Copies of this chain bind each other. A is one copy, B any other.
């Protein structure tokens, strides 16, 4: 086993609740001999991967890792990362996934992952749909303030379907719900019989914002499956949001009635 494995294991020991490690921490966490732990930590410090806290025996990640880690954000654009998450969820559950961006009051599909079920939702990328009348749109509009949303629709709008919001008040109520829940949902809006779950996400340093969406025929998805889609999507989005330090991200918050059996 290469020492690289051990070094990577050490890095994996760090977490939001463990900002530094000691020789004994490694012995406990990784089950390695003390001698190895001692030498490994020193070697990693000598190479600039870790640094000692003051002159104590505690080791923490060093500046080099902060610098290289920072690059990850730029190396992989927000769209790439969001797409990776949607692709994974789509593969896993077999329903269509895509990511979209908002341009004004319209939503534009950017990437798509077709599902593999016989009855599947087909979306073509590049299509424009109204933001207020789609889950992706509302997931993104929810990131704006109510005032900003109002400003976006000075003339109001006309609901294209029964289940879409009919006026501004209804839209703002749906957006408030989206913020509370951490996800947006649509049913029979753009296409009859189709449900969609969307989560919005942004990168404050670049200003990019995207929506992750999974779309499926309402008839073929059991309540439990729907919950699992919501969870997968929200979890993946939350990871990216943590990375970009997206302060406007709304974490998943399932209401009691949702989680009841």
User: Of residues A15, A53, A68, which shows the largest number of chain B Cβ atoms within 10 Å of its Cβ?
Assistant: A68
Among the listed B8, B55, B68, which residue makes an inter-chain contact with A69, where contact means beta carbons less than 8 Å apart? B68
On whether the beta carbons of A2 and B67 are closer than 8 Å, the reply is no
Residues of B within 8 A of A8 (CB): 47-49, 64
Count of A interface residues, CB-CB < 8 Å: 49
Copies per assembly? 2
Q: Is A205 an interface residue (CB 8 A)?
A: yes
Interface residues of A in 59-94 (CB under 8 A from B): 60-76
- How close is A122's CB to chain B, nearest CB, in angstroms? 12
Interface residues of A in 139-192 (CB under 8 A from B): none
A54–B203 alpha-carbon span in the complex (Å): 9
Residues of B within 8 A of A7 (CB): 4, 7, 47
Interface pairs (8), CB distance under 8 Å: A3-B4, A8-B49, A11-B68, A65-B65, A66-B243, A67-B125, A70-B243, A71-B126
